[in-house]
Amino acid sequence: MATVQILKDLGEQMGLKGTELRDFIKEQQDLEREERNRLREEQDKQREHDKIQQDKLDKFRLAQMEREKKKQQREREEQHKQRESEREQREREREKEQHEIERMKFERDKMDFELQMKATEVKKASSVKSEDEEG
């Protein structure tokens, strides 16, 4: 930015005087003002562009984070379902084993009872045979 004195000196070196010198200084100041305004507008446009780009980037990152969050949530839910399924499977297996144990106990008790019945029959037969031999 040229000062008025520099513009005046420059104009005088070009041979300008009076009104022509004033007009030259005014024109140069107007040109500099226009240039500053143009630069300011460019900077404003660049800032606006940068802000728009940053907003887009922020939205993209936010959307990306949301997708990742949903993905993690789905994975957690899937893991929970898997653990629940495994727990239910273990429970069914435990119930099946318990049922088999109960069935085996029943079979054992049944065999014990049958054995006792046979033992009783043998005693009766033995007792009847002893009575027959005595009498």
What angle (nearest 5°) sits at the alpha carbon of residue 90, between those of residues 87 and 92? 110
Sign of CA dihedral 46, 49, 54, 57: negative
Average of per-residue pLDDT across 87-102: 97
Dihedral over alpha carbons 78, 84, 87, 88 (to 10 degrees): -120
Report yes or no: 29 and 7 within 8 Å, Cβ to Cβ: yes
In Å, what is the CA distance from 17 to each residue of 9, 25, 70, 109? Answer: 11, 11, 77, 134
Helices (H), the chain: 4-13, 18-134
pLDDT on residue 125: 79
**From CA 22, how far away is CA 25, in angstroms rounded?**
5
The DSSP secondary-structure symbol of 15 reads T
Average of per-residue pLDDT across 15-38: 94
Q: Per-residue pLDDT tens for 56-71? A: 999 999 999 999 999 9
Average of per-residue pLDDT across 74-81: 97
Average of per-residue pLDDT across 33-55: 97
pLDDT band at 128; cut points 50, 70, 90: confident
Interacting residues of 12 by C-beta distance below 8 A, sequence separation 6+: 21
Query: Is it the case that residue 130 has pLDDT exceeding 80?
Result: no
Higher pLDDT residue, 128 or 85? 85
* Domain extent listing, the chain: 4-123
